Amino acid sequence: MVDIKEIKHIRAAPFTLMSSSIHAILAFIAAILIILFFGSIAAFIPGASSFAAFITVLGLAIIILYPLTAFFWNILMAFVMALLYNLLTPKVGGIKLGMEGDEVKSIPVISVALILACVVTVLTFIMGLYMGLAGSSVLSLVSGVIPIAGSAVINATNATNATVPTGGLFGAISGFWALFWIILVPIMAFIGSFILYALFAIFYNIIIPKIGGMKLIFAEAANGFELTNIPVLPAALSISVVFAVLGAIYGLIAGIMTGDVVVAIIWLVTYAIMYFIMYFIIVALATIIYNFLQPKIGGIKLVLE
């Protein structure tokens, strides 16, 4: 029997530490692959000793800087996301999971789409507030400088019957720029993310009865539960299959927009395969890293009801 569990609260510190650590290790793996790729290219280029030396120096920098950047950036992002989730959950409800034992059999569509879309929207609004106010200030400054510069040019050239530019166009653009980033972009982010998360949940609920869902193994912890283990294959298979379907839909739509049915079919198959392989590898690596780190730094802690 499916038991609906709602994630009422995410402990910010364990979530931030685990998320940042996983991203740092994934970034380290990516850095090694980048170095091997460019190093292989350099090895096949005749007389490319200077290029190979450059790749070596660049590789050392990437191996150090890329994981560190990923770690510290995700400390900020993960903490803010957990904080927003905890603030918004009492108002719009949290993520709900249909659990049968350790297996996630279903994901109620509205609950996951609404809370995650709200988190994305708030983050987008914060970014848009910065972009809107900063850009608007620059454009307003330009609109104020233009009349002064125009008057100076007219006076310097002793032009007669010359019209002083007003900078009104930049003033109008300034207002639209702020409106676009502060209002329109967050609205588009909410609609787009709500649709995406809803589609993910819908296809998960359709596909999982046929292939089995991901499994989440919890243990009781202080004032909640700790996610102690994520079996790798069920998580990687279930999530990658769902994203393969989403990739097929994206490829089909993109192909149809070209007006060529053959291209649409090719892109449908290509994106489905590409998304399946990409997400299978990413999810498998992330779960392996999680299971490795959990005994050492502690797992994600949640309050479930």
Average pLDDT of the chain is 83
Over residues 21-45, mean pLDDT: 80
Which of the four pLDDT bands, split at 50, 70 and 90, describes residue 201? very high
Give me the pLDDT at residue 62, please: 78
pLDDT at residue 163 tops 70: no
Please check the confidence at residue 46 and state whether its pLDDT lies above 70. Answer: no
Q: What percent of the chain has pLDDT over 70?
A: 80
pLDDT of residue 149: 45
The domain limits of the chain are: 6-97, 109-201, 216-305
Of the pLDDT bands very low, low, confident and very high (cuts 50, 70, 90), residue 162 is: very low
Segment 264-274, tens digit of pLDDT: 889 999 999 99
Average pLDDT over residues 75-98: 93
- If you average pLDDT over residues 81-100, what whole number do you get? 93
Place of tokens 């294959």: 233
pLDDT value at position 147? 52
**Which one is predicted more confidently, 156 or 2?**
2
Q: With a cut of 80, say whether residue 28 has pLDDT above it.
A: yes
Q: CA 190, CA 206: separation in Å to the nearest integer?
A: 24
Distance CA(234)–CA(215), nearest Å, equals 6
The confidence score (pLDDT) of residue 128 equals 84
| pLDDT at residue 141, as a whole number | 56
274 neighbors 254 (Cβ within 8 angstroms) = no
Q: What local confidence, expressed as pLDDT, does residue 164 receive?
A: 44
Give Dmax over CA atoms of the chain in angstroms: 88
- Say whether pLDDT at 52 is over 60: no
Whether residue 284 is predicted with pLDDT greater than 90 in this model: the reply is yes
Q: Report the pLDDT value the prediction gives residue 297, as an integer from 0 to 100.
A: 93
How many CB atoms are located within 10 Å of the residue 69 CB? 14
Split at pLDDT 50, 70, 90, the class of 240 is very high
Give the torsion through C-alpha atoms of 131, 132, 136, 137, to 10 deg: -60
User: Which among 19, 134, 119, 24 is positioned nearest to 78, based on CA atoms?
Assistant: 19
Q: What would the pLDDT profile of 166-190 be if each residue is shown by its tens digit?
A: 445 555 666 677 788 888 999 999 9
Provide the pLDDT for residue 153. 45
pLDDT of 298 strictly over 70: yes
Q: What is the pLDDT of residue 3?
A: 87
- Side-chain-side CA neighbours of 14 within 13 Å: the count stands at 22
C-alpha 305, offset from chain centre: 27
Average pLDDT for 232-251: 94
Residue 103 has pLDDT above 80, yes or no: yes
Q: What's the pLDDT band for 247 if we cut at 50, 70, 90?
A: very high
Q: What is the predicted pLDDT for the residue at 278? A: 94
Task: Check residue 241 and give its pLDDT.
Answer: 95
Mean pLDDT across the stretch 32-61?
66
